[in-house]
Chains A and B, each alone.
Chain A
Amino acid sequence: MSTLSVGSHAHDDAHGGGHAHAGSFLSTYVFSKDHKVIGIQFLFSTLLWFLVGGLLALGIRWQLAYPWSDMPVIGKMLFANEGGQISPEFYTILFTMHASVMIFFVIIPILAGAFGNFLIPLMIGADDMAFPTLNMLSYWFMWPAFIAFTMSFFVAGGAAKGGWTSYPPLSLTDMSGQTLWLIGLTFVGVSSMMGSINYMTTIIQMRAPGMTMFRLPMTIWAMFITAILQAFALPVLTAAGFMQLLDRTAGTGFFIPAGWTANNAAAASGGGQPLLWQHLFWFYSHPAVYIMILPAMGMVSDIIACFSRKPLFGYKPMVYSIAGIAGLGFIVWGHHMFVSGMNPWLGMTFMVSTMMIALPSAIKTFNWLGTIWGGNIRFTTAMLFALSFVSMFIIGGLSGIFMAATPVDIFIHDTYFIVAHFHYVLFSGTAMGVFGAIYFWFPKMFGRMMNEPAGKVHFLLTFLFLNGTFFTMHILGVVGFPRRLADPYHYPTFHHLRPLNVFMTWCAIGMVATQVIFATNFIWSIFFGPKAGRNPWHANGLEWAAPSPPGHGNFDVQPVVYRGPYEYGSPEVDTDYYPQTQPPPAHTEGAPAPVPAAAH
């Protein structure tokens, strides 16, 4: 792929992207093949679904704080006959769809689809992805999934209610909502596969001259390895989803034993195993959780190095750690199944591998701490979110050790200890990292700055409320408070835990309300934020050499890379940063001359 010709796009500086060709509104902003537009499409879609997922979570929290009371909004809309009191199966819909939306419509697409798409070509010095049409399709393939999930709320029986893990045989007993869920998942899977192929190819083939693999920013390494994870793990989920679809619609028996029946329905032909689903599902879904954090880890590394004004500590160990997490991530899936009835000898093997996967995460944490040590820290909003990622990830990672310990897992499996763990890594970790990334790369995306004080208020309130909501879940888990119970207070053991749940619910409400500040800031700043220059943060990456926002083709001149991305505080120059594309000082011999831009 050749790069951009100089001149015709010099004025792209001040405008939004993608007007270089005289295209229609549709081809420029809707069916665009420009990776930046596609990235922003993903960003907007996922942020909207973030709101939906958050509101579903509030439904869960309300029921746990005020069980069987008149639920706000939903009670009036759906349960007027019952005075606003939700029904138990509606609760199962709430937690199933909250998780499904957050995992498949928010976290995975925002990391890979939004940031992966936007940043990869810019950070490696390419003018677009290797396969722009495939890229466009990867966004539009999300829409059938969006529609399927939305529709599922309105069909008879309501949306899927077997948990996001949709274990058979329960998921086979559900009505059409579950079928729509499976269809939605298939489309998400195909979209992710398209993306992963694109990212791998682009990163391998389209790096700018001088951009060796070990000069790539951590964001790119993370996106690259995540793409490999997607490619190897997703087909298993897609196959399993298809098998479940057949069990539901075509009378096959992959996951049900012979003569199986439930709810007085006719006996099934059977011949299968419920545990087979669990193995197939977790074989994907465990790497999926790493898919859901590695890109955030990469972005956080870039942000922390930038605002510490100091090189990233241990670049190569950081890269190897990401690879280690990904590799080990394929051999730990059984830790979700310790008490599932699988051969208990597997409890031994998976315990060892799961314990070991804590190691690369620990190494990364120490390296982040090493990065801020001796630095000159700028507490911008992006930096605050990135630092909170580290602080919260420590909690999430350490709580994982309890679960890896198989005998202890006997007690805490399916309790709120697990819920605490994954909310720490996914929300307090990844989502905070995502917020940081938004604040950091917003100027590049939209050519304007977000409001810093509003950002800091957003950070402070989110940070306080999330800890109030999720840290207390560890305590609930220690009591043995089970997951997915519409009314845990039936049980004398858990009867006294309601006040704590009330506290958590109000923290959660505060947390969701706080996001109004973020939404306002985000939307306002797109239109009215102060104009940003190319490099408002004085960062080193290639993306900061392009205009803000970059035009079609990204760079004015073909970037050439002279060094790694973390040369902050370098003694070679007077400034405290040293961009990758900046040629070394004139007296240095042997520096390659800038390559003249080729015709487009």
Chain B
Amino acid sequence: MTWIAMTRIAMNRQANIALRLLPVVATLLLAAGCGKSEPPVFHLNMIAINQAQIPVEQQKELANILEALYGTPNEPFVLADTGLDLAKLKIAAGPVRSDQFGREGGLYRRQCGHCHGTTGDGRGPTALLLNPYPRDYRQGKFKFKSTERAAKPTTIDLDRVIRHGIPGTAMPAFGLLPESQIAALTEYVKYLSLRGETELRLINAIADLSEGEKLAATREGLVDEIVKPLAETWTNASESIINPEPQPAGEAAASVAAGRELYYGAKANCVKCHGPGELGDGQTNDYDDWTKPLVEMAKSIASEREGLDTNTDLDSTQRREIQARLALSSLILETDSLPPRNAIPRNLRQGIYRGGRAPVDLYRRIYAGINGAPMPGVGPATPGATGTLTNDEIWNLVDYVRSLPYELHTPAKTTAAPVHASIEQNRF
């Protein structure tokens, strides 16, 4: 019998059985993969909740209030009192999509969410890989703006950051996006920030409640007490714009020399952090305002644990309770935050200016410092007051800082060459 005939006989008998198995296997495989993901939700600020020791039922209440006030990542909502444009928010929010006319939606999730997180907490999936970490909007603090230190950024400030990025960080320059998209994203950042700060204030309010007391029963109460004042800080931001007085006329070299004196002098004392070689190595132990709470929390957990070991007065139930609480805190710290990093002062010789390189930008950094960072301001603390340095002195420092990347040798300083010097090599 030829092998062909043999095969044919075998085929008929076995083919049926084998092919009957097929749908079973296929169905099993398909079942494993089917099912859409749940819509994303805003996450509660578990660090703050844990530190304020908010019980679970009130956490639920908090979540409900926030949802009523601000909606969800797919369906945003804002009260008119916030001053935010809901139409823009709707374009920015939700899943990535485009309609039949090619208009794009879900802009935040397309451009920003994987770093800044769905909730704007700076902990998207990519955040772990970045140095520095992406901004956590929830404290309502922003570093690079045109306003007084404690004030909010203006809309144009946020627009600038999105458009030009932040040099020296992973924040890209989105200037090639259409204007309308940048406007929608700016609005959404404000929205997330407002929501985050509202949450923090609500957490404090809940923490202040005495036993059995509830938060203001009416929505109007909460809105008046918390949302409206916060919204006002945003709408009033442009009133706090730092508008420098003109730079005095004079020799550039003289201004630079004066700036150098101020840098090393006791008044401004830039050298303390930025270092004798302007390399940013003066002091590197400090933390920014987003990291300090985490470091404090870690320290307090550690010291409480130590105290627990030495404390002989507690009985086993109390001990267990405290251990459980500390374990929970520890877990939340681990899962709800990124590994803390020090705030490193800027290396001024690199010519990289995160907040912009124009003289007016540098003026503002020096005048108001950087909100949220250890960089102090040397200008007047409030308009009309007297600052540590005068307007002219600040301009001297600006000129000095701008000259640093091009200064190849500084006598009696460290010898590290500025990175700006190009490293040329022959081709391999």
> Which single residue of chain B is at the shortest CB-CB distance from A261?
B419
Contact B17 A528 (CB under 8 A): yes
Residues of chain B from 391 to 426 with CB closer than 8 A to chain A in the complex:
419, 423, 425
Q: Does A593 contact B (CB under 8 A)?
A: no
Q: Return B31 CB to nearest CB of chain A, in Å.
A: 11
Contact A520 B18 (CB under 8 A): yes
Residue in contact with A342 in the complex, picked from B18, B37, B427, CB distance below 8 Å: B427
Contact B10 A524 (CB under 8 A): no
Interface 9-residue window, one of B106-114, B204-212, B258-266, B294-302: B106-114
Residues of chain B from 94 to 116 with CB closer than 8 A to chain A in the complex:
95-96, 106, 109-110, 113-114
Residues of chain A from 505 to 532 with CB closer than 8 A to chain B in the complex:
513, 516-517, 519-521, 524-525, 528-530
Contact A84 B22 (CB under 8 A): no
Question: Residue-by-residue, is B114-131 near A (CB-CB < 8 Å gives 1, otherwise 0)?
Answer: 100110000011101111
Contacts A83-B39, A273-B428, A452-B11; is A538 near B3 (CB within 8 Å)? yes
> Which single residue of chain A is at the shortest CB-CB distance from B7?
A452
Known: A83-B73, A530-B13, A536-B7. 10 other contacts (CB 8 A): A81-B40, A81-B117, A83-B118, A257-B423, A454-B18, A513-B26, A530-B6, A530-B9, A530-B10, A538-B3
Q: Which residues of B contact A75 (CB under 8 A)?
A: 37
Q: Does B315 contact A (CB under 8 A)?
A: no
Q: Does A327 contact B (CB under 8 A)?
A: no
> Which single residue of chain A is at the shortest CB-CB distance from B30?
A513
Residue in contact with A263 in the complex, picked from B7, B130, B419, B428, CB distance below 8 Å: B130
Q: Does B33 contact A (CB under 8 A)?
A: yes
Q: Which residues of A contact B6 (CB under 8 A)?
A: 530, 536
Question: Residue-by-residue, is B13-27 near A (CB-CB < 8 Å gives 1, otherwise 0)?
Answer: 111011101100110
Contacts A82-B40, A451-B11, A453-B11; is A68 near B129 (CB within 8 Å)? no
Q: Does A7 contact B (CB under 8 A)?
A: no
Q: Which residues of B contact A90 (CB under 8 A)?
A: 125
Contact A524 B428 (CB under 8 A): no
Q: Which residues of B contact A599 (CB under 8 A)?
A: none
Contacts A520-B21, A530-B14; is A156 near B428 (CB within 8 Å)? no
Contact B43 A157 (CB under 8 A): no
Contact A451 B96 (CB under 8 A): no
Contacts A83-B38, A85-B109, A257-B425; is A454 near B15 (CB within 8 Å)? yes
Q: Which residues of A contact B9 (CB under 8 A)?
A: 530
Contact A73 B33 (CB under 8 A): yes
Q: Does B250 contact A (CB under 8 A)?
A: no
Residue in contact with A157 in the complex, picked from B36, B109, B129, CB distance below 8 Å: B129
Contacts A82-B113, A175-B129; is A529 near B14 (CB within 8 Å)? yes
Q: Which residues of B contact A265 (CB under 8 A)?
A: 131
6 contacts between A and B (CB under 8 A): A73-B32, A82-B109, A83-B38, A259-B423, A263-B170, A520-B22
Residue in contact with B33 in the complex, picked from A72, A259, A454, A536, CB distance below 8 Å: A72
Residue in contact with A82 in the complex, picked from B10, B32, B33, B124, CB distance below 8 Å: B124
- Majority secondary structure, A binding face: loop
Q: Does B249 contact A (CB under 8 A)?
A: no
Contact A524 B95 (CB under 8 A): no
Q: Does B35 contact A (CB under 8 A)?
A: yes
Contact B125 A69 (CB under 8 A): no
Q: How many residues of B contact A (CB 8 A)?
A: 56
Q: Which residues of A contact B13 (CB under 8 A)?
A: 530
Q: Does A89 contact B (CB under 8 A)?
A: yes
Bound Cα distance from A279 to B428, whole angstroms? 10
Contact B7 A79 (CB under 8 A): no
Q: Does A449 contact B (CB under 8 A)?
A: yes
Q: Which residues of B contact A530 (CB under 8 A)?
A: 6-7, 9-10, 13-14
> Which single residue of chain A is at the shortest CB-CB distance from B32?
A73
Residues of chain A from 266 to 287 with CB closer than 8 A to chain B in the complex:
273, 275-276, 279
Q: Which residues of A contact B124 (CB under 8 A)?
A: 82, 87
Bound Cα distance from A188 to B17, whole angstroms? 39
Q: Does A80 contact B (CB under 8 A)?
A: yes
Bound Cα distance from A279 to B419, whole angstroms? 28
Contact B128 A157 (CB under 8 A): yes
Q: Which residues of A contact B15 (CB under 8 A)?
A: 451, 453-454
Contact A88 B37 (CB under 8 A): no
Residue in contact with B37 in the complex, picked from A70, A156, A513, CB distance below 8 Å: A70
Bound Cα distance from A261 to B96, whole angstroms? 34
Q: Does B29 contact A (CB under 8 A)?
A: yes
Contact B129 A341 (CB under 8 A): no
Bound Cα distance from A516 to B113, whole angstroms? 37
> Which single residue of chain A is at the shortest CB-CB distance from B341?
A264
User: What residues make up the interface of A, taking CB atoms closer than 8 Å to B?
Assistant: 67-70, 72-73, 75-76, 79-85, 87-90, 156-157, 175, 257-259, 261, 263-265, 273, 275-276, 279, 341-344, 378, 449, 451-454, 487, 513, 516-517, 519-521, 524-525, 528-530, 536-538
Bound Cα distance from A196 to B11, whole angstroms? 39
Bound Cα distance from A175 to B4, whole angstroms? 57
Residue in contact with B25 in the complex, picked from A72, A81, A263, A516, CB distance below 8 Å: A516
Bound Cα distance from A344 to B428, whole angstroms? 10
Q: Does B132 contact A (CB under 8 A)?
A: yes
Bound Cα distance from A84 to B40, whole angstroms? 8
Interface contact tally, CB-CB below 8 A: 145
Residue in contact with A524 in the complex, picked from B3, B18, B32, CB distance below 8 Å: B18
Contact B118 A82 (CB under 8 A): yes
Contact A82 B125 (CB under 8 A): yes
User: What residues make up the interface of B, taking CB atoms closer than 8 Å to A?
Assistant: 3-4, 6-7, 9-11, 13-15, 17-19, 21-22, 25-26, 29, 32-40, 43, 73-74, 95-96, 106, 109-110, 113-114, 117-118, 124-126, 128-132, 168-170, 344, 419, 423, 425, 427-428
Bound Cα distance from A89 to B126, whole angstroms? 7
Contacts A73-B32, A273-B428; is A68 near B18 (CB within 8 Å)? no
Contact B7 A449 (CB under 8 A): yes
Contact A264 B43 (CB under 8 A): no
Contacts A451-B14, A524-B17; is A85 near B428 (CB within 8 Å)? no
Q: Which residues of B contact A84 (CB under 8 A)?
A: 36-37
Bound Cα distance from A204 to B404, whole angstroms? 70
Bound Cα distance from A528 to B19, whole angstroms? 13
> Which single residue of chain A is at the shortest CB-CB distance from B421?
A259
Q: Return A473 CB to nearest CB of chain B, in Å.
A: 24
Contact B25 A520 (CB under 8 A): yes
Q: Which residues of B contact A536 (CB under 8 A)?
A: 3, 6-7
Contact B38 A516 (CB under 8 A): no
Please list the 10 inter-chain residue pairs (A to B) with the smallest Cβ-Cβ separation, ordered nearest first: A84-B37, A530-B10, A87-B125, A68-B96, A83-B40, A87-B114, A275-B428, A73-B33, A264-B131, A75-B37
Q: Which residues of A contact B26 (CB under 8 A)?
A: 513, 516
Bound Cα distance from A89 to B37, whole angstroms? 20
Bound Cα distance from A162 to B109, whole angstroms? 24
Bound Cα distance from A343 to B428, whole angstroms? 6
Q: Return A490 CB to nearest CB of chain B, in Å.
A: 9
Contact B32 A69 (CB under 8 A): no
Interface centre among B19, B21, B106 (most CB of A within 10 A): B19
Residue in contact with A68 in the complex, picked from B19, B34, B110, B126, CB distance below 8 Å: B110
Q: Which residues of B contact A452 (CB under 8 A)?
A: 7, 11
Q: Which residues of B contact A73 (CB under 8 A)?
A: 32-33
Bound Cα distance from A87 to B118, whole angstroms? 12
Interface centre among B43, B110, B114, B130 (most CB of A within 10 A): B114
Residue in contact with A80 in the complex, picked from B19, B38, B130, CB distance below 8 Å: B38
Bound Cα distance from A341 to B426, whole angstroms? 10
Bound Cα distance from A454 to B18, whole angstroms? 9
Bound Cα distance from A259 to B3, whole angstroms? 71
Q: Which residues of A contact B118 (CB under 8 A)?
A: 81-83
Contact A88 B126 (CB under 8 A): yes
Contact B14 A87 (CB under 8 A): no
Contact A88 B11 (CB under 8 A): no
Contact B125 A264 (CB under 8 A): no
> Which single residue of chain A is at the shortest CB-CB distance from B28?
A516
Bound Cα distance from A79 to B109, whole angstroms? 12
Q: Which residues of A contact B39 (CB under 8 A)?
A: 83
Contact A69 B126 (CB under 8 A): no
